[in-house]
Amino acid sequence: MTLDEQLAYFDRKAEQAFTRCLKDFRARRESIIVEARERIIAGFDMYGAEGFRWDYHRLRQAELEEYADGINYRLMRIYQGWPT
Protein backbone atom coordinates (compact mmCIF):
# COMPACT_ATOMS: atom_id res chain seq x y z
CA MET A 1 0.00 0.00 0.00
CA THR A 2 1.20 3.49 -0.73
CA LEU A 3 1.33 6.05 2.06
CA ASP A 4 -1.76 7.79 0.64
CA GLU A 5 -3.66 4.48 0.61
CA GLN A 6 -2.59 3.75 4.18
CA LEU A 7 -3.70 7.18 5.36
CA ALA A 8 -7.04 6.89 3.57
CA TYR A 9 -7.57 3.51 5.22
CA PHE A 10 -6.55 4.98 8.57
CA ASP A 11 -9.04 7.81 8.17
CA ARG A 12 -11.84 5.32 7.44
CA LYS A 13 -11.02 2.80 10.16
CA ALA A 14 -9.20 4.57 13.04
CA GLU A 15 -12.30 5.00 15.24
CA GLN A 16 -13.22 1.35 14.77
CA ALA A 17 -9.68 0.26 15.63
CA PHE A 18 -9.62 2.50 18.71
CA THR A 19 -12.91 1.06 19.99
CA ARG A 20 -11.74 -2.50 19.40
CA CYS A 21 -8.45 -1.79 21.19
CA LEU A 22 -10.31 -0.54 24.25
CA LYS A 23 -12.57 -3.58 24.28
CA ASP A 24 -9.61 -5.92 23.88
CA PHE A 25 -7.61 -4.09 26.55
CA ARG A 26 -10.39 -4.73 29.05
CA ALA A 27 -10.98 -8.32 27.95
CA ARG A 28 -7.29 -9.24 28.12
CA ARG A 29 -6.56 -7.41 31.38
CA GLU A 30 -4.92 -10.35 33.15
CA SER A 31 -2.80 -11.38 30.17
CA ILE A 32 -1.66 -7.79 29.60
CA ILE A 33 -0.58 -7.43 33.23
CA VAL A 34 1.36 -10.71 33.06
CA GLU A 35 3.02 -9.61 29.80
CA ALA A 36 3.89 -6.20 31.27
CA ARG A 37 5.67 -7.87 34.18
CA GLU A 38 7.52 -10.20 31.80
CA ARG A 39 8.65 -7.21 29.75
CA ILE A 40 10.18 -5.59 32.85
CA ILE A 41 12.14 -8.79 33.47
CA ALA A 42 13.16 -9.23 29.81
CA GLY A 43 14.29 -5.62 29.45
CA PHE A 44 16.05 -5.24 32.78
CA ASP A 45 19.54 -6.14 31.55
CA MET A 46 19.24 -3.57 28.78
CA TYR A 47 17.32 -0.76 30.51
CA GLY A 48 17.63 -1.35 34.25
CA ALA A 49 15.51 1.23 36.09
CA GLU A 50 15.99 3.96 33.48
CA GLY A 51 12.27 4.42 32.79
CA PHE A 52 11.55 4.87 36.48
CA ARG A 53 13.62 8.06 36.34
CA TRP A 54 11.91 9.60 33.31
CA ASP A 55 9.95 12.78 33.91
CA TYR A 56 6.17 12.98 33.62
CA HIS A 57 6.11 14.41 30.11
CA ARG A 58 8.48 11.81 28.71
CA LEU A 59 6.40 9.02 30.27
CA ARG A 60 3.16 10.48 28.88
CA GLN A 61 4.70 10.75 25.40
CA ALA A 62 5.98 7.17 25.56
CA GLU A 63 2.49 5.97 26.57
CA LEU A 64 0.90 7.92 23.73
CA GLU A 65 3.30 6.38 21.21
CA GLU A 66 2.60 2.86 22.49
CA TYR A 67 -1.17 3.39 22.37
CA ALA A 68 -0.89 4.83 18.86
CA ASP A 69 1.12 1.80 17.73
CA GLY A 70 -1.61 -0.43 19.15
CA ILE A 71 -4.20 1.28 16.97
CA ASN A 72 -1.97 0.91 13.92
CA TYR A 73 -1.41 -2.79 14.60
CA ARG A 74 -5.17 -3.22 14.99
CA LEU A 75 -5.72 -1.46 11.65
CA MET A 76 -3.33 -3.92 10.02
CA ARG A 77 -5.29 -6.82 11.51
CA ILE A 78 -8.59 -5.35 10.30
CA TYR A 79 -7.13 -4.85 6.83
CA GLN A 80 -5.88 -8.43 6.64
CA GLY A 81 -9.20 -9.79 7.84
CA TRP A 82 -7.90 -11.18 11.13
CA PRO A 83 -10.20 -11.30 14.16
CA THR A 84 -10.24 -8.02 15.98
Q: pTM score > 0.75 for this model?
A: yes
DSSP 38-55: HHHHHHHHHHTTGGGGS-
28-55: pLDDT as tens digits: 999 999 999 999 999 999 999 999 999 9
Using CA atoms, how far apart are residues 8 and 21, in angstroms rounded to an integer?
20
Q: Across all residues in the chain, what is the average pLDDT? A: 96
